[in-house]
């Protein structure tokens, strides 16, 4: 159709709200999280966790690990170092002198919070935690670390100690692995939340052996 100058007044522009809805529709259609099956959703969550382990650019590569008693909660960002299936375990490394190791020693439970800002998807993984220090598990992961990464666990002063100026701390002999800890969280429950523009969605999964019992929740 040819639009002449005289016919412009008959042309009705598409309202901005329609374009907004169209953009939202494309976003939702393209989202990998737009699934209707709880089984597919639990599989997708674990697939994304496995991918995050080996991909520094994945938004779930740096989760928040929350620890502590109810009256004294604590939280910090950690690096996701491993994901095991069918064990359904999450791994992180730490200096054994940190507050999180002390808290997990006393209260061996942790919540791992993963968030994807682009998809607006949050996953909370509730776990029973065990610590490995100066044992074969810690030794195995220690020897897999490059020298540059080992320095993070080799400071003479404990993490959180006062320093006179910005510093990574004085580094001990590179062969000393006595202050290296592996945090292993055995996941028992997952809480998934999608802040979907057209309506939020939420689901919960509870572990039953090597499978997950899921249910939809009110967001």
Range name among 30-44, 67-81, 155-169 with the lowest pLDDT average: 155-169
Report if residue 121 sits inside a domain. Answer: yes
Handedness of CA 72, 78, 80, 81 (dihedral sign): negative
Report if residue 99 sits inside a domain. Answer: yes
Query: In a 3-state reduction of DSSP, which class is residue 62?
Result: coil
Percent of the chain beyond pLDDT 70? Answer: 84
Q: What is the pLDDT of residue 103?
A: 95
Q: What is the pLDDT of residue 72?
A: 86
Paired with 110 in beta bridges are 127
Report if residue 167 sits inside a domain. Answer: no
Q: What is the pLDDT of residue 154?
A: 85
Q: What is the pLDDT of residue 99?
A: 93
Task: Find the mean pLDDT for residues 157-168.
Answer: 79
Domain span at residue 76 reads 36-161+175-217
Judged against a pLDDT cut of 50, whether residue 127 lies above it is answered with yes
pLDDT tier for residue 176 given thresholds of 50, 70 and 90: low
Report if residue 6 sits inside a domain. Answer: no
The set of residues, in sequence order, having a beta carbon less than 8 Å from that of 155 and lying 6+ positions away, is: 95, 168, 169, 170, 171, 172
Number of domains in the chain: 1
Q: Name the nearest CA neighbour of 69 among 17, 110, 31.
A: 110
Q: What is the pLDDT of residue 54?
A: 87
Q: What is the pLDDT of residue 219?
A: 95
> What is the domain-level CATH number for residue 46?
2.30.110.10
Paired with 213 in beta bridges are 206
pLDDT in tens, 23-53: 444 344 579 999 999 999 999 999 999 999 9
Q: What is the pLDDT of residue 1?
A: 38
């Amino acid at each position: 159709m040819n639009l002449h100058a005289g016919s412009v007044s008959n042309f009705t522009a598409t309202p901005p709200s329609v374009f907004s809805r169209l953009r939202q529709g494309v976003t939702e259609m393209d989202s990998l999280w737009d699934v209707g099956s709880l089984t597919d959703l639990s599989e997708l969550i674990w697939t994304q966790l496995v991918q995050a382990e080996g991909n520094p650019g994945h938004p779930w590569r740096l989760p928040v690990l929350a620890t502590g008693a109810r009256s004294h909660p604590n939280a910090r960002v950690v690096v996701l170092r491993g994901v095991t299936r069918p064990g359904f375990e999450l791994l992180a490394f730490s200096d054994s002198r940190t507050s999180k190791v002390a808290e997990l020693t006393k209260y061996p439970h942790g919540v791992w919070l993963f968030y994807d800002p682009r998809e607006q998807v949050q996953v909370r993984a509730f776990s029973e935690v065990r610590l490995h220090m100066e044992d074969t598990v810690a030794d195995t992961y220690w020897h897999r670390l490059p020298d540059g990464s080992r320095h993070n666990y080799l400071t003479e002063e404990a993490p959180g100690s006062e320093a006179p100026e910005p510093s990574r701390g004085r580094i001990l002999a590179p062969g000393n692995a006595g202050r290296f800890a592996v945090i292993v969280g055995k996941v028992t429950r997952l809480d998934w939340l999608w802040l979907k523009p057209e309506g939020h969605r939420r689901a919960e999964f509870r572990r039953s052996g090597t499978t997950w019992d899921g249910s939809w929740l009110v967001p």
